[in-house]
Amino acid sequence: MESAAHARKTPLPGVGIRYDLDTGGGRHLSVVAHQDGRRILAVHDREDEDVCRESVSLDPPESAALAKLLTPDPVGHLHQHFEIDLVTEHIPVTKRSPYAGRTLGATQARTRTGASVVAVLRRTAAHPSPAPDFRFAIGDVLIVVGTREGVNAVADLIDEG
């Protein structure tokens, strides 16, 4: 059974917040999250946690990139057992589209392509799992999931009919 790691949080007035984590291997790490978005990642001395052995300063984009690398992929283990050949694309409904103003059901997208429209983004709202009577508007962005071939076919269908 995996042990849960718990970070301790310490406010640093005028600076930001310090997060401390002791690893299972006996290392003491800290991250100082500055108010301006910068981060400092530090490794402390095993004998004296007040002594910082090494630190790395990261700007906000670097912090975000590192966070993505450190965040476990919740479905990554699935790739170890079988290969999933699914893609997700954003497909816009333009004024050229023969389906602007028409319903999702009129496209017969899933029957014709095997791909699914799983959501529609409209201005500042999202419409998850749209029903067949959902009416498309110019500017909508369809979130489509399927094989590469199926998603490409939906793009062609929405664009050209």
Q: pLDDT tens digits, residue range 54-105? A: 888 878 888 787 777 677 766 665 555 555 688 899 999 999 999 999 999 9
Q: Work out the pLDDT band at 110, boundaries 50, 70, 90.
A: very high
- Whether residues 40 and 59 share a domain: the answer is yes
Of 49, 70, 91, which closes a domain? 70
More confident residue, 114 or 161: 114
> Is pLDDT above 80 for 53?
yes
- Whether residues 42 and 64 share a domain: the answer is yes
- Whether residues 64 and 120 share a domain: the answer is no
Q: What is the pTM of this model?
A: 0.50
Other Cβ atoms less than 10 A from the Cβ of 157: the count is 19
The DSSP H or E segment spanning 155 is helix 148-160
- Whether residues 97 and 30 share a domain: the answer is no
- Whether residues 93 and 142 share a domain: the answer is yes
In a domain, 76, yes or no: no
Query: How much is the pLDDT for 121?
Result: 95
Of 31, 46, 70, which closes a domain? 70
- Tell me if 138 sits within 8 A of 94, measured CB to CB: yes
- Tell me if 90 sits within 8 A of 119, measured CB to CB: no
Q: Work out the pLDDT band at 1, boundaries 50, 70, 90.
A: very low
Distance CA 126, CA 118 (A): 11
- Whether residues 118 and 139 share a domain: the answer is yes
- Tell me if 145 sits within 8 A of 86, measured CB to CB: yes
In a domain, 142, yes or no: yes
- Whether residues 44 and 86 share a domain: the answer is no
- Whether residues 89 and 153 share a domain: the answer is yes
More confident residue, 6 or 75: 6
> Is pLDDT above 90 for 49?
no
Domain interval for residue 25:
8-70
- Whether residues 154 and 91 share a domain: the answer is yes
